[in-house]
Every structure is written in structure tokens, then in C-alpha cells.
């Protein structure tokens, strides 16, 4: 295997498996580039990013420029003399000068089967949209947003229990494994780049808190996928009497009653929370009330209540 000198650019924990695999494979990781540390929302205390923490444990230098396009940062990257830049959920747009700086260019680990779901939140949207599979694409980066030639792919199934948290972590691991093989074929010239079909391209916009808002008029399938596609972040929610209730672990149920969508059908320790949907009913296995911890709905109703016939907004 060819030993490459690599700069890894990543900010979220999606980049950690890639860092681990690069080191395990014997590559020379010259530096990790991450976004600056930010204070957490509650205590305003600075917390190291997981990828930064792991890099420091491995003795790898970490660069955290506020803006990667500044002349100073560009020169610092140039001085590292990398063979290739690897990008995994970094969060800043790279200039053309940076993209094509290394001899082998820059490659990106993208959490979708391109050209579908280009953009910021491909994992969330694949689940929400009802896809039956997702995957990772390793692509050669160009100046467009996720438009570069595809170098390799791996596919994974999505089912009724697949959450965005689970799929994110799975794709991070699968992508890291795929990266090692792809770098080998890139360095020896055996890789066969495949152009993306623009007619099939779709875009996955950044998720907001409102992405989790449930509409009980929708089918059970669509509601289930929205719950799973926002678990654990930003979390699906519904409202009752002005209170926001987060919903997790859904299960579709056959039901043909005439109640309005959003009506609470069951709320007890035996059945948990069951709500009428546009075409049936949905059991909500776990809930989180304002200021409380997430818990099984059956446990919540051991001492708490939601009136039958109440209607979620």
C-alpha cells in the first residue's frame, strides 16, 4: 500500500472514524483542520470537538482557522505538502486554490448515494423522504457543491427502525473503510471516476428545529420517517396545550376509527401513547416532556397523564 501524506478536514464526529482508519492504515496525517471550538449552549464552556480531541490523542497537529480561505491559512496548508486533502463534514467551502493544491486533489466522504442528496443534511433527508437505502460516496471535489466525479460507493438499507443517529454513525464507519481502498486506487491510478448525472441530482438542505414539527394529517409512514429522520437531532415534536412534546421510537398501527388526526387514542402504562394519523394510528414508544428526560411513554404514564381524546396541534 502506498503511504500518503494527508490533511484531514472535518468538524463533526463524522470525521473521527476516517481519522482512525487513516492512522491504522499507516498514512501520514500531517494535520487535522477543524472549525474553531464553540462554547456549548448551556454553560458557555468551550468544549473540544471530538475530531480535535482524537487528533490530539494521536499527536496530530490541529488547525482551526475562522476562515480557511485567508492567505495565511492557504500558505499554512501549502507548507504541509500533502499528497491529498480528505474532507469529512468540515463545514466551510474550500477555494479552488485549496481544492487543487495537493497532487491528488481533494476527496470528500459524502453521506449519500450521489447525485441524490447533495448538500448539508443528506442523512436526515434520506430517512424523512422514505428512501429504502442510503450510503456513502467518495468523490473527487470540484468547485461545485458535491458535484465532483464519484470514485466509489457503498450502500446500506434503511428500514422502519433506522434513525438518523444510527445511520450517521454507520455511514461514518462505512465511509472510513471505503476511503482507505479509494485512496489506494487513486494513488496507483487504477480508479475510474464516474461523472454525476445532473438529471438525477437532488439537494438536502440544512435541518432546522422546525424540521421536526409533526403533521398528524400525514400518513403513519411519513410521520414515522420524520420521527426517525430527526432522532436524536433536531427531534420530532408535537404540541398540546402550548407544551412541546418530543416523540421517538414510532410504530405504525392499523386503525380505521373516525377520530380527527392528532387525537390521543391511548395513553397508559400498557399501550403507551397512541395517536390517530391521516391513514391509521401511530404508537410513540418514547417521549420527552419540556424540561424532562427522554423516557418510554409507558413509563411516563406511571404517574402522569394525557387525556384521551386530546388533540395534538
- Angle, CA 149 vertex, CA 83 and CA 173 arms, to 5°: 70
pLDDT at 41: 62
Residue located via cell numbers 480531541: 53
Identify the sign of the CA torsion 54, 60, 64, 68.
negative
Q: Report CA 208 to chain centroid distance, whole Å.
A: 13
Map out the domains of the chain with their CATH numbers.
Answer: 5-204 (3.40.50.170), 209-300 (3.10.25.10)
Mean pLDDT of the chain: 97
In this prediction, residue 199 carries a pLDDT of 98
Rg of the chain over CA atoms, in angstroms?
A: 22
On whether 113 is known to bind a ligand per the annotation, the reply is yes
Model confidence at 1: pLDDT above 90: no
Rounded to 5 degrees, what angle do the CA atoms 53, 110, 62 make?
Answer: 25
DSSP, residue by residue, 47-111: ---HHHHHHHHTT--EE--S-TTSHHHHHHHHHT--SEEEEES--SPPPHHHHT-STT-EEEEES
Percent of the chain's residues with pLDDT above 90: 95
On whether 187 is known to bind a ligand per the annotation, the reply is no
> Which residues make Cβ contacts (< 8 Å) with residue 212, sequence separation at least 6?
226, 230, 234, 235, 236, 237, 246
- Give the H/E segment covering residue 172: helix 164-188
Supply the pLDDT for residue 42.
61
pTM of the complete model: 0.95
- Does 61 count as an annotated binding residue? no
Grid cell of 231 as nine digits: 432522532
Strand, helix or coil at 169?
helix
**How far apart, in whole angstroms, are the C-alpha atoms of residue 269 and residue 275?**
15
Between strands 264-268 and 272-276, the pairing is antiparallel
Question: Do residues 163 and 5 lie in contact, with contact meaning Cβ atoms separated by under 8 Å?
Answer: no
261 assigned binding-site residue? no
- The pLDDT-based confidence of 44 (bands split at 50, 70, 90) is low
Q: What is the model's pLDDT at position 297?
A: 98
Amino acid at each position: 500500500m502506498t503511504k500518503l501524506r494527508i490533511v484531514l478536514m472535518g468538524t463533526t464526529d463524522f470525521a473521527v472514524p476516517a481519522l482512525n482508519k487513516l492512522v491504522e492504515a499507516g498514512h501520514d496525517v500531517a494535520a487535522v483542520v477543524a472549525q474553531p471550538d464553540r462554547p456549548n449552549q448551556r454553560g458557555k464552556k468551550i468544549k473540544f470537538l471530538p475530531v480535535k480531541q482524537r487528533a490530539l490523542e494521536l499527536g496530530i497537529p490541529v488547525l482551526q482557522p475562522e476562515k480557511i480561505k485567508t492567505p495565511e491559512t492557504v500558505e499554512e496548508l501549502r507548507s504541509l505538502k500533502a499528497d491529498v486533502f480528505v474532507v469529512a463534514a468540515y463545514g466551510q467551502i474550500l477555494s479552488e486554490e485549496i481544492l487543487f493544491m495537493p497532487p491528488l486533489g481533494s476527496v470528500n466522504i459524502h453521506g449519500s448515494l450521489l447525485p441524490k442528496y447533495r448538500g448539508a443534511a443528506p442523512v436526515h433527508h434520506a430517512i424523512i423522504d422514505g428512501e429504502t437505502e442510503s450510503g456513502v460516496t467518495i468523490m473527487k471535489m470540484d468547485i461545485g457543491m458535491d458535484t465532483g466525479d464519484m470514485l466509489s460507493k457503498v450502500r446500506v438499507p434503511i428500514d422502519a427502525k433506522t434513525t438518523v443517529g444510527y445511520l450517521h454513525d454507520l455511514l461514518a464507519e462505512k465511509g472510513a473503510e471505503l476511503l482507505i481502498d479509494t485512496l489506494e486506487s487513486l494513488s496507483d491510478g487504477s480508479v475510474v471516476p464516474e461523472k454525476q448525472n445532473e438529471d438525477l441530482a437532488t439537494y438536502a438542505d440544512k435541518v432546522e428545529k422546525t424540521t421536526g414539527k409533526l403533521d398528524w394529517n400525514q400518513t403513519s409512514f411519513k410521520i414515522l420517517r420524520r420521527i426517525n429522520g430527526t432522532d436524536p437531532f433536531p427531534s420530532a415534536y408535537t404540541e398540546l396545550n402550548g407544551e412541546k412534546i418530543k416523540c421517538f421510537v414510532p410504530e405504525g398501527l392499523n386503525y380505521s376509527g373516525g377520530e380527527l388526526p392528532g387525537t390521543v387514542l391511548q395513553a397508559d402504562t400498557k399501550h403507551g401513547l397512541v395517536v390517530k394519523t391521516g391513514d391509521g394510528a401511530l404508537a410513540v414508544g418514547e417521549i420527552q416532556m419540556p424540561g424532562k428526560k427522554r423516557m418510554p411513554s409507558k413509563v411516563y404514564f406511571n404517574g402522569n397523564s394525557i387525556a384521551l381524546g386530546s388533540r395534538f396541534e
